[in-house]
Amino acid sequence: MGKNDADVLILGAGPAGLVLGNLLRAAGIDCVILERKSREQVENRARAGFLAANSVRLLEANGLADGLLRDGVQHDTCVFRYERTEFEIKYGGLAAGEVHTVYPQQFLVTDLIAEFLARGGEIKFGTEVSSVSGTEATVIADEVLLRAEYIAGCDGRRGVSRRSVPARVFRRDHAISWLAILAEAPPSMPAVGYAMHERGFAGHMARTSTVTRYYLEVPRGEDPEGWTDDRIWDELHQRMRADQYGPLKQGAILERRIVDLGSHVMDTIQRGNLFLAGDAASLISPSAAKGANLALMEAEILAGALIAAHHERDTTALDRYSAECLPRIWRAQEFSHWLIALLHSPAGYDDEAVFQRALRDARLESLRISRANQDFFAESYVGI
């Protein structure tokens, strides 16, 4: 390797970094992944689980999909509940006819780690990166200077990579908070459920046959420990209108944490030989199930560009990495914002709150009856 410690240093062992590392190893490129947390922590970190069709195709085409093809469950339906009615959209039968595959992210990460190591890659868990230079292609990790030909920053919104790229950062705080709940309970419906209620939004997302993700809209600054199991199930029962549409399958609450809905986009997502992917490049609300799918899309584009640069000394694709990714990131952000506006409305009974709720109900009614709106939803929900 000469003076370099690797052809490519990858910061972060999340979906972006691991998919990128696997694609590079398949092309014979030497890469090392630096991860702050332990392997056990990374492999047990419960996150999103909805993989879009393009993500599944990417993983399958590169020999990374054995687990999800064996254990993943396809989802093709959304249910919307609000004061007037309940309706479902079978988005798998609309527009491009694409579906989601539900496969919890910690399972995917576990698969990707095993495959990366089997392909001869190296992961340094428990490694703290304190500095990154894209112009010099260097990393300081555990006070040791490491050099590479290229660096991929896949270390998330709080990692050092994004702070090393001088870029304009577009941010938006949606002023909405969710209590994210992981319940040891079977799904209560075969579809993704979105419930709009005067007490706030509630969401139902299956993870496995025995674990379900729920969301409850809560005031900003809420303490998740103030929500007992009984309080959570009582609130979900009301907002999901279980008396009207059927009881929820209850179980122990495994996790409760607050998610403040916010968005940011870096422009640019590269500097010198440093390239950002995943949450380091952009943060998107969980409402539209886009985060992991954006990460995989960016990893695929970056892998192709790095392979061309390393093997053919052609940096054309690397030079255009930001220009290639950012329009797709903004498209995903636009749909996320649209869905946030659909799912949330102001509380209270003043004229403005009542007006905003009436607009929301009109949007829901248009989605219920308009095939054109349903096709837009289907294409945007599954695609990027």
Phi, psi of 246 (to 5 degrees): 120, 150
CATH number at residue 219: 3.30.9.10
Name residue 32's beta-bridge partners.
9, 122
- Does residue 44 share a domain with residue 186? no
In tens, the pLDDT along 60-117 reads: 999 999 999 999 999 999 999 998 899 999 999 887 789 999 999 999 999 999 999 9
| Tokens describing residue 317 | 């694709």
Q: Which of 58, 36, 43, 48 is nearest to 117 (CA)?
A: 43
332: in domain? yes
pLDDT band at 350 (very low <50, low <70, confident <90, very high): confident
Provide the pLDDT for residue 207: 86
The two structure tokens encoding residue 313: 């000394």
pLDDT at 54 over 70: yes
Average pLDDT of span 158-180: 94
* In a domain? residue 80: no
DSSP structure string for 361-380: HHHHHHHHH-HHHHHHHHHH
Looking at the fold, whether 50 and 189 belong to one and the same domain comes out as no
252/148 same-domain check: no
Same domain, 288 and 217: no
Q: Is the pLDDT of residue 38 over 90?
A: yes
Average pLDDT along the chain: 94
Please pick, among 204, 290, 310, 344, the residue that the annotation labels catalytic: 290
Say yes or no: 181 and 257 in one domain.
yes
**Structural domain containing residue 321:** 6-75+97-171+263-337
195 and 319 in a single domain? The answer is no
**Tens-place pLDDT, residues 72-88:** 999 999 999 998 899 99
Q: Is 286 a catalytic residue?
A: yes
Is 381 considered catalytic here?
yes
Length of the chain: 384
Residue 81 in domain: no
Q: Is 321 marked active-site?
A: no
Strand partners, 181: 214, 256
In the DSSP assignment, the letter for residue 59 is H
pLDDT-above-90 percentage for the chain: 86
Mean pLDDT value of segment 374-383: 91
Catalytic position from the list 103, 150, 214, 381? 381
Active site residue 349: no
Q: pLDDT band at 384, cuts 50/70/90?
A: low
Note the pTM of the prediction, 2 decimals: 0.93
pLDDT at 1: 41
> Looking at residues 185-204, what average pLDDT do you find?
93
Half-sphere exposure of 53 (CA within 13 A, CB side): 14
For the record, the structure tokens of 282 come out as 């952009």
Asked if 194 is an active-site residue, the reply is yes
Q: Residues 215, 135: one domain?
A: no
- Same domain, residue pair 220 and 315: no
- Considering the candidates 194, 214, 215, 321, report the single residue annotated as catalytic: 194
